[in-house]
Structure 1
């Protein structure tokens, strides 16, 4: 990343590839178009920032990437899913608002029709592209949030990474196929390769992201218990390892673990906290639950 600066008090970083694209566009004589795209992307990300700050999230920075941007926050799966969905969709919402505003200004004769058409098309392109189910695009984050309602979080991040990888491959392949029809789409190829690398790196670091989720789990448990919640049971055999059981934890559920013996009799019931403490102890992580608590 090149040296950041802070417009409107927001730490803004430019990815090197984004900087190269901007520079090449200016050198090619597309300064107005480039400035327009920059403003659209910035307002898109500003929508995320304002929504996040409204919920009290800690926004670290905004990164401008080849495909648009990404808001980096401190919160990692320890906030309500509905808040995450609102923050995620606040970006594409800005594109919709800008399209409506451009149509209104054009009909009033306040802006040139040619520029208005370009502005509307650019907003549609950026907004719709960001809704693709690929991390870290808005569509990928929305997919991950929705999956959290039904799947254990370890499986959520694994499934979302795999889906993102598949769509990144399709996007990259589509840009290469164009070489036989209308020429290689270099910008799409660069974006596709970038997303492919990003999601492969994310998949390789799955255990790290899951550990961050567990480290922040105490905040989620306090929130759930403070508001009152129904416990989600997990029924396991006593021979199951602590690691296997922890991977069954769901993001928005408080779990009680029912441990059974060979005859199907419930021997004891555990809340989450002792299991988390055992997981954070590397010497106990691979132990069977019956060895630790019976």
Structure 2
């Protein structure tokens, strides 16, 4: 029997809501709270349907996050994409429902207009192609198989700096145009801080990915070959590791001859031991390999 999903509200979310109520925006706060909650429940519902256990839904000042108790979505790009798109789809559906009801004459009140506007805004904003937004997860899931999980994650965070700069520039332009837009500045700052934090935690994220990848057993998996010189640090090799693939690293000597083949699990164990800067050659048993016999 499935248990319900626990919802946690961050203290800053409560403070932001109280501040908005003081500013006579209680209606918008209530609608935004409901929209964000339904958005996160959309993520949680798809995650549970795919076999993941949802630990908690946490509502934050700038949105929310679904935390899983088991597994790592980054290990299965298709799952990550499905869970990521679920939230914006919920908001688009709710916005369409509001437009339909308004068009049918059921109501055209301020609450309906706010409902439609906030749902559409949440959908569009969350589809921006940068982490930690849903669009960034779609970006990563589409590229992680080809460039590796770490590189795809880094690219999505760096895109966050670009979008943050555009939003803050828009806020500045709006200010000098006599139409101040504090929201653009705040959201730009949020994305910049999130991207900076994400890049600092990238190594921890990569270890978590490798650990989940190690624990995820597949009866049959596709192999992916990499080539590295003996003096290449392990941190450069592991950045190329992709989900849904088992990696075999061909180690080359100074004469570009294959001297050994290092398996994925060997490199992962080295990472778990903190040997990020150890040359991959130290994991091998040098001796020229006859590639034609492999």
Which residue number corresponds to residue 279 of structure 2? 288
Q: Structure 2: any 5+ residue segments left out of the alignment?
A: 286-294
Distance 1:285 1:179, change over 3 A: closer
The two structures, once aligned, show a CA RMSD in angstroms of 2.2
Which residue number corresponds to residue 266 of structure 1? 258
Which residue number corresponds to residue 188 of structure 2? 192
- Alignment deviations for residues 201-233 of structure 1 (CA, whole Å, 9 cap, x no partner): 11122222122222222024x23xx1x233111
- Alignment deviations for residues 23-45 of structure 1 (CA, whole Å, 9 cap, x no partner): 23322333223222221111111
Moved more, 172-181 or 47-56: 172-181
- SS at 1:150 equivalent: helix
Q: Is 1:13–2:13 an aligned residue pair?
A: no
State the 1:285 CA deviation: 4.2
Asked if the contact 2:5/2:54 (under 8 Å) is kept, the reply is no
Q: How does 1:101-140 map to 2 (within 5 A)?
A: 101-112=97-108, 114-140=110-136
Q: Structure 1: any 5+ residue segments left out of the alignment?
A: 1-7
Asked if the contact 1:77/1:251 (under 8 Å) is kept, the reply is no
Asked if the contact 2:57/2:64 (under 8 Å) is kept, the reply is yes
| 1:83 corresponds to which of 79, 82, 90 | 79
Asked if the contact 2:74/2:80 (under 8 Å) is kept, the reply is no
| 1:61 corresponds to which of 56, 60, 77 | 56
Q: Is 1:40–2:45 an aligned residue pair?
A: no
TM, length-normalised to structure 2: 0.86
State the 1:114 CA deviation: 4.9
State the 1:278 CA deviation: 2.4
- SS at 1:69 equivalent: strand
- SS at 2:128 equivalent: coil
Mapped partners of 1:172, 1:248: distance in 2: 33
- Alignment deviations for residues 52-111 of structure 1 (CA, whole Å, 9 cap, x no partner): 111122323223233322222244355411111111000011112112322333344433
Distance 1:240 1:49, change over 3 A: same
Q: Is 1:279–2:271 an aligned residue pair?
A: yes
Distance 1:32 1:43, change over 3 A: same
Asked if the contact 1:279/1:285 (under 8 Å) is kept, the reply is yes
Asked if the contact 1:66/1:191 (under 8 Å) is kept, the reply is no
TM, length-normalised to structure 1: 0.86
Mapped partners of 2:30, 2:82: distance in 1: 28
Q: Is 1:255–2:247 an aligned residue pair?
A: yes
Distance 1:28 1:277, change over 3 A: closer
Mapped partners of 2:96, 2:164: distance in 1: 31
Asked if the contact 2:39/2:91 (under 8 Å) is kept, the reply is yes
- Alignment deviations for residues 97-135 of structure 1 (CA, whole Å, 9 cap, x no partner): 112322333344433455433322221111111111232
Asked if the contact 1:175/1:184 (under 8 Å) is kept, the reply is yes
Distance 1:108 1:244, change over 3 A: closer
| 2:148 corresponds to which of 146, 152, 158 | 152
Which residue number corresponds to residue 24 of structure 2? 29
Which residue number corresponds to residue 292 of structure 2? none
Moved more, 196-205 or 105-114: 105-114
